[in-house]
Amino acid sequence: MNNWLLRPFFYWFASVSLFLMGWKAKGKTPDLNKFVLIAAPHSSNWDFVFFLLIIFKLKIPVHWMAKHTMFKWPFKRLLKRLGGIPVDRSSGKGNIVQSITDAFEKSKNLIITIAPSGTREKVARWKTGFYHIARQAKVPIVCGFIDYQHKIGGIGPVFNPSGDIDADMTAIRSFYAKFSGKYPQPPYS
């Protein structure tokens, strides 16, 4: 069974689930074939669940990276059908950036969502792999968000990496300053 057969079910399930929990989806998918979609904030596994529900509601055909240890029976097939890409982080950051960059180059349509915090733990600094992937693959960065305080999630602005990582990261992080995950985090630097 292909993912396109499951999409109507995912859309229905996400729409009903969000409605029953009082959440709303905001924004729309940019008219782009390829981009890196930031998923933030990411303070708990529930942030990930709500972000996926928002993605399904907005009908965005994303792929997402997660620790390879998540992809075990009985969830392995389901997680892959939901767009999961197992990543072994012990192989080194540069290898992951290069492999995702290569995937963008080989694909006509590809949306990869990445949580820049890199973990659910409190962090003071975002990882920059998403930025390097977008820059090397020559694709834009789209800001996806959730906000527990207002029970909304969705799609924000599109950023084209300029090469000035400090300025670009400051602009991207400023967009997220108003949103809160399940567990409040310090402002990102």
Radius of gyration (Cα) for the chain, nearest Å? 16
For residue 187, is it within any domain? Answer: no
For residue 184, is it within any domain? Answer: no
For residue 182, is it within any domain? Answer: no
For residue 183, is it within any domain? Answer: no
Q: What is the pLDDT of residue 124?
A: 59
For residue 189, is it within any domain? Answer: no
Q: What is the pLDDT of residue 85?
A: 79
For residue 186, is it within any domain? Answer: no
Q: What is d(CA 131, CA 143) in angstroms, rounded to the nearest whole number?
A: 12
Q: What is the pLDDT of residue 182?
A: 78
Q: What is d(CA 123, CA 188) in angstroms, rounded to the nearest whole number?
A: 7
* Average pLDDT, consecutive stretches of 10 residues, N- to C-terminus, the chain (189 residues): 66 94 93 94 82 91 82 86 76 72 90 74 70 94 93 95 93 89 60
Domain total for the chain?
Answer: 1
Domain that holds residue 21: 3-176
For residue 131, is it within any domain? Answer: yes
For residue 181, is it within any domain? Answer: no
Q: What is the pLDDT of residue 189?
A: 42
Q: What is d(CA 155, CA 145) in angstroms, rounded to the nearest whole number?
A: 6
Q: What is the pLDDT of residue 91?
A: 60
